[in-house]
């Protein structure tokens, strides 16, 4: 239920920002929850998501999202959880990364179950990678969803290159 909720939230957000086309994946970036889990695909015609304002909020849990193309690896709980978190909090997250610390960038690594001892170095690596993406001229033309996906790929790369046991959810 919780997982379905999360997918629905992300999808609703994606729909609301006008991302009605499936995001094109970066060459060589592998399976992406932004593509393979239906995120950004506008597959959600009837959510109960009334409004994202303070006193006006309702459970999104009654809307199921399915994706025939979803692979278990790509659409497992962590992938979708991280993807959703990145898209929802992108500005705060990327600013934390720019500053090399902060609760949002820590939160991403927490979701991956990365131990706190290793997080500082991982944020440093992530900072270097995201800096390259952001300084590229094409960055400005990307949609929020595309930027989120880039960030997601960078985090994944940083997490995957850690020694076994550093991040429990890889």
Partner 1 sequence: MVFSLLRSYLLIFFLFSISDIAYSTEGSIDEHYLTELSRQKTWLKLGLYEREATESVKYLSSVQSADFFLSENGAQSPYNELLATINEINSPFVSNERNNEHAICRFPARLFWLKKVIPSALNIDRKIICNKYKEWSYDNSTESISIVYATGYLGNPASFYGHTLLKFNSSNIRGKTKLADVSVNYGAIIPKNENPVTYIFKGLFGGYDAGFSHIDYYFHNHNYGENELRDMWEYELSLTPQESQFIVAHAWELLGKKYTYYFLKKNCAYRMAELLEIVDNIDIKPENPIYLIPQSLIQKLVATTHGGRQLVKRVEFHPSRQTRFYKLFDLLTSTEKKHLEKIVDSNGRGKSDSFSLLPAHSQKKIIDAVLDYYQYVLKKNNSEDEQIQEDYEKILALRFTLPAGRQKVDYKSNIAPHKGRSPSLTNLALLDNERLGAQLAIKIRPAYYDSLDSGGGHIANSSLTMVGFELRLGEQKSYLSYLDLFKVESINSQTTGLPDDTNTAWNIRAGFSQTHSTLSHAVFGIQGDYGKSFRLNKGLLLAAYLGGGLQDNKNGYGNIFLRGLLSAHFDFGDAIRFKAKLEHREYVDSNKNDQNIYSLEGRYQLTTNEELRVFYRDDENLEFGLSYGFYW
If we measure between CA atoms, which residue out of 167, 154, 168 comes closest to residue 26?
Answer: 154
Of 27 and 55, which has the nearer Cβ to partner 1? 55
Q: Which residues pair with 56 in a beta bridge?
A: 53
- CA 87 to each of CA 70, 94, 120, 166: distance values in angstroms, whole numbers, following the listed order: 19, 11, 22, 24
Q: For partner 1, which residue of 21, 62, 71, 157 counts as binding (CB under 8 A)?
A: 62
Of 28 and 137, which has the nearer Cβ to partner 1? 137
57 CA to centre of own chain:
22
- According to DSSP, residue 29 is labeled -
Please state the closest distance from residue 95 (CB atom) to partner 1, in A.
6
Of 50 and 69, which has the nearer Cβ to partner 1? 50
- Report the site for partner 1 in 82-141 (rule: CB under 8 A): 85, 88-89, 91-92, 94-95, 98-104, 106-107, 110-111, 113, 124, 127, 130-131, 134-135, 139-140
Of 22 and 107, which has the nearer Cβ to partner 1? 107
Q: How far apart are CA 2 and CA 8, in angstroms?
A: 10
Binding span for partner 1 by CB under 8 A among 27-35, 55-63, 68-76, 155-163 = 55-63
DSSP notation for 117-143: HHHHHHHHHHHHHHHHHHHSGGGGGS-
Contacts with partner 1 by CB under 8 A lie at 1-2, 5-6, 9, 48, 50-62, 85, 88-89, 91-92, 94-95, 98-104, 106-107, 110-111, 113, 124, 127, 130-131, 134-135, 139-140
């Amino acid at each position: 239920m919780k997982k379905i909720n999360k997918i629905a939230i992300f999808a609703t957000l994606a729909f609301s920002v006008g991302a009605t086309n499936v995001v094109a994946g970066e060459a060589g970036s592998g399976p992406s929850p932004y593509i393979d889990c239906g995120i950004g695909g506008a597959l959600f015609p009837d959510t109960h998501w009334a409004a994202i304002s303070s006193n006006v909020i309702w459970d999104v849990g009654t809307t199921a999202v399915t994706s025939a193309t979803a692979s278990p690896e790509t659409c497992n709980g962590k992938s979708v959880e991280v993807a959703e978190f990145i898209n929802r909090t992108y500005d705060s997250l990327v600013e934390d990364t720019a500053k090399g610390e902060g609760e949002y960038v820590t939160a991403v690594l927490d979701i991956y179950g990365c131990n706190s001892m290793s997080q500082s170095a991982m944020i440093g690596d992530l900072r270097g990678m995201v800096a390259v993406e952001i300084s590229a001229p094409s960055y400005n033309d990307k949609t929020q969803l595309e930027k989120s996906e880039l960030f997601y790929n960078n985090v994944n790369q940083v997490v995957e290159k850690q020694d076994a046991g550093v991040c429990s959810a890889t």
